[in-house]
Amino acid sequence: MIIEKLRITPTLIIFETITLIVLDFVKSFNIILSALLVGIIGTLAAIIVHNLLSNSFTLMSINKEKIKLNYSLSLFITIFLIVLFLAQNLILYFLYLPNNILGNFSLGFLSAFLASILCLSGYNIQPFKIKLIGSKDIIIKKTNILNTSLLIALYEAFILPIMIPLMQINFALAGFTSALIAGLIVTTLYNNTNLKIRWK
């Protein structure tokens, strides 16, 4: 299955806003525990809100088909967040990246690309798979690692320079605004280029 057209910005807004609200409460914990709590509590809450709103609105669509999310997705996102947080710290340990737009863009891209490569490589060979709920359920058995990682990395690259300064004001505002802008940019790029995700 080739994802030709992707609409996901409203879903990203829900996830980023809710998970950053949770992060605001757990940011004083160590990095792994913070990622674990954000993943388990934040993404479960986001999936519940997403699926409730999806009864009335189309928040996410793949090839123009409305999609709801299975709750097991929160487990995979939690693992990804732990790897992502660790990747960010590892990169900052070895590389000097200034706390400005370019530095945060680079940090977002490099950390998300590394985390995605690792997580997707593991995902493709393990037996438990993500299921998306539509008119016909989609079970993602495998994905093309490079293209999927590039898409995730681009999203994180655009979101981080917006999110980090806004977190000094309000975490929910940071999540909402950064997901709105980064989501629109990345989905527009995705839908108008030949860089496509393929699922088996």
Q: Give the pLDDT score at 136.
A: 87
What are the extents of the domains in the chain? 2-198
Q: Give the pLDDT score at 118.
A: 97
Tokens describing residue 158? 């655009």
- Residue 95 burial (CB count, 10 A): 11
Structure confidence by residue, pLDDT tens digits, 159-193: 999 999 999 999 999 999 999 999 999 999 999 99
